[in-house]
Structures are given as structure tokens and as C-alpha cells.
Amino acid sequence: MRPVGAPLERPAEVEEARSILAASRARRVQPARDEKVLTEWNAMAAATLAEVASATGIAGYGERAEEICEFLLSTMYADGRLMRSWQGGRARHLAVAADHAWLVEACQRLSEWTGKAVWRDRALVVGAQLLDLFWDDESGGFYTTGSDAEALVVRPKEFLDGAVPATNSIAVTALLRANAFADDPRLDRAVDRTIDLARPLLERHPAGLADLVAALPMWSGRHEIVVTGDRPDLLAEVRRHWLPAAVVAWGQPDSGPLFEGRPAEPGLAYVCQARSCRTPAADVETLAGQLEALVA
């Protein structure tokens, strides 16, 4: 172990031994590398990077997130169907529900980072594909495999988190964010029915559905924050707070309910709950007070 406070540079004798070992290892057969690009994992990374960019203001994280999502949206589709894996210039294997759900989440997080309407639109498009291919209209919840996939004896549904969040947990989170910009009753019903289906598990084993538990404040609170016009000071104040249960909209307006009837100028901030908004904030102090109420 390195002693506390010791320099990070390796001692000369350690560096010499490391070089000898590395040279010897290089003469042996190198381990194979798995070079597949998976939609789910990359969309998960993009969503995280975009969220970090919003929280820290470090643009490089957001730029990497945009690059990842642009690649996924331009490369991972074949004949209009999202694929799960890409390797050697070819996308293959039908995407599962988690691929779609994480791509919705990544697009929505990029909307919050960039303010570009195109990312909201893309989130809604992929969200519609998630519903069309994986929704169980009879019992509720999202199947893991699509209706166009190879028929299985039983189509599984994932509710318990494992190494990554369960499919239905991220589907609820992603659709809650995306639907803030659409107010689509179909998305609302899907979220409500999925939570109802998971209710017995939530009551008995909440730790096993931690990511769905984390989505519940967003589901019950329905908080939306809209910044219109060019007001970087108001946006910075919003980002200064940790508001996991809120959806943030700014930048390019669209025809959705969050921007409808709100002028691009002068710049104002609207703090809302289920479309019911407080008095528009024109200054940072007023906005800070309204946001503190959400945190509390």
C-alpha cells in the first residue's frame, strides 16, 4: 500500500520491475476484447454525462453525451427498428425494452442540458416505439422483448433491480420526463399502470426496486420548471439546486404544453406542479425562493 502523503510517482525500482513485467506480458497472447457497442449501456452513459454536465456546467460531458446519442440514433436503427448491438460497421439483434427506455432518458437529459427542442422530439419518438413494441395492454408494464421478437414461452417483465436498474423502473422515469413535454394520456396511463402493477413489490421489497422508488416523487409531484427567453442567470439558479423530481425546460420553445402561451421575451422562470404554476419569476431571488420550496 502507498503510505499516506507519499508521492504518486513510482520509485525507480518499482518502475523498473513494472517495465520488465509489461515487456514479458507483451510477448504472450493478448486477451480478446469485446468491442461491441450496446445501445443500453451507451444510452445510460449518455444520460449520466448529460446530467453531470447540467449539474457542473462542464460542457465536455454534455458534448460526449451528444456524440453518443447522435451515433445511436444514426447507426443503431435497421429498417426503422432499433438494434441492441453494433460491431464491425453493422447493427444487429433487436433492441429490448431497456435499450429504448435508456435512449428516451438520454434524449430527455440532453434536452435539459442543451435546451434544443430536437432532443425532446427524439425522446417522444423513441418513447412511442417503447410503447408500441413492449407495452402489455392487458396487465400493464413493459415486456423485456418486443412484440416483433422471437416468440418465447413466457415474455418476461423486469421489475427487480440488479446490476443495472430494472427495465420498468427506467421506463417509468424516462416516460415521466418525456411526457412533461407532450401531455399524452397514453404515456400517463402507461406510467400509472406500471406503478400499480409494481405496488405489491414496492410495499414488500422496496429496496429491490430502488430506482422505481426514486421515480415516485416525480410521479406524485409532477414538478416542471420552464425558463423562457435568454436568461442564463435564471437557468444557473435552477441548476444550482438538486431537483431530481423536476423536469427542466429552456431554450428553443416548442408546441408542447410547457411552452404554450409563454412568451420567449422577456425571460421568465415558471415553477409549476402538474401544469399549475406560481407567479412567474423575473429575478434570481424570487426564483430561488420558489425552488427552495420544492427542495423542502
**162-200 residue pLDDT tens:** 999 999 999 999 999 999 999 899 999 999 999 999 999
pLDDT (average), residues 118-138: 97
Average pLDDT, the chain: 93
Interatomic CA distance for residues 244 and 38, integer angstroms: 26
Q: What percent of the chain has pLDDT over 90?
A: 81
Burial zone of 202 (CB within 10 Å; 0-12 exposed, 13-18 middle, 19+ buried):
middle
Going by pLDDT thresholds of 50, 70 and 90, the confidence category of residue 265 is low
pLDDT (average), residues 156-161: 95
Handedness of CA 210, 161, 218, 71 (dihedral sign): positive
Interatomic CA distance for residues 79 and 148, integer angstroms: 13
pLDDT at residue 32 above 90? Answer: no
pLDDT at residue 260 above 80? Answer: yes
